[in-house]
Amino acid sequence: MDIGIVSMRYAKALIEYGKDTNTAAVLYEEMSMLSRNLNVFPELRSTLDNPILSIRDKFSLICTAAVGSLNVSREFSRFITLVLRNHRENFLQFICISFLGMYRQMEHIGVGKLITAVPVDQETGERIRRSAGVVLHVKMELETEVDPAIDGGFIFDYDDYRLDASVATQLKRVKQQFIEKNRRIV
């Protein structure tokens, strides 16, 4: 079966289950952390694909990746049990991505990425998140990244849009203008 179809069906079922039990927000937090850990630790994905590992061990690994040492919600536990019983653990990352996308669309949540040359303090990050949320008419989640290569300023990404106010880009534009001007002279 197609990966997209399987992951969308499971994600849609989890969204509906979360709505019915009023735990969609809790499931969103757990799936967010699980998705983040599946991205950061590729060994986790390969471990889950290992057929020698028991379902109980896989369940324990997934729960630890989702909430750490805390207890998972009953709904998350039941969902992961369903995924493992149907041997769909190899689709888990795609299920997470599909679920997060559906939930964000349902709750009007936007995800922006702020790239700066130096770390941004929490107050400034919060102010940017609120301002972007007001302008874009969404609840904004903001990811921050430090990239010294931009030399200063910032780059803000949201969906397919990019606001590039970095020093490196400004210098590149000035250089291009000088090159164009010198071509006309010669």
Find the CATH number of the domain harbouring 72: 1.10.520
- pLDDT for the residue 69: 83
- pLDDT for the residue 4: 82
Strand pairing report for 109-116 and 139-146: parallel
Alpha-carbon gap, residue 114 to 134, rounded angstroms: 16
Choose the final residue of a domain: 105, 126, 156: 105
Judging by beta carbons within 10 Å of its beta carbon (0-12, 13-18, 19+), is residue 24 exposed, middle or buried? Answer: buried
The alpha carbon dihedral of 13, 64, 111, 140 has a sign of positive
- Could you tell me which residues come within 8 angstroms of residue 131 by beta carbon, excluding any fewer than 6 positions away? none
Choose the final residue of a domain: 79, 105, 131: 105
Phi-psi category of residue 137: left, alpha or beta, with phi > 0 → left and psi -120 to 50 → alpha: left
What's the Rg (C-alpha) of the chain?
21
- pLDDT for the residue 160: 84
- pLDDT for the residue 25: 94
Alpha-carbon gap, residue 38 to 5, rounded angstroms: 20
Mark whether 92 and 136 lie in a shared domain.
Answer: no
Mark whether 95 and 134 lie in a shared domain.
Answer: no
- pLDDT for the residue 109: 92
- pLDDT for the residue 2: 65
- pLDDT for the residue 180: 87
Instruction: Write down the pTM of the prediction.
Output: 0.81
Q: What total number of domains does the chain contain?
A: 2
> Are residues 91 and 3 in contact, defined by beta-carbon separation less than 8 angstroms?
yes
- pLDDT for the residue 78: 95
Which portions of the chain are predicted below pLDDT 50?
none
Choose the final residue of a domain: 72, 105, 138: 105
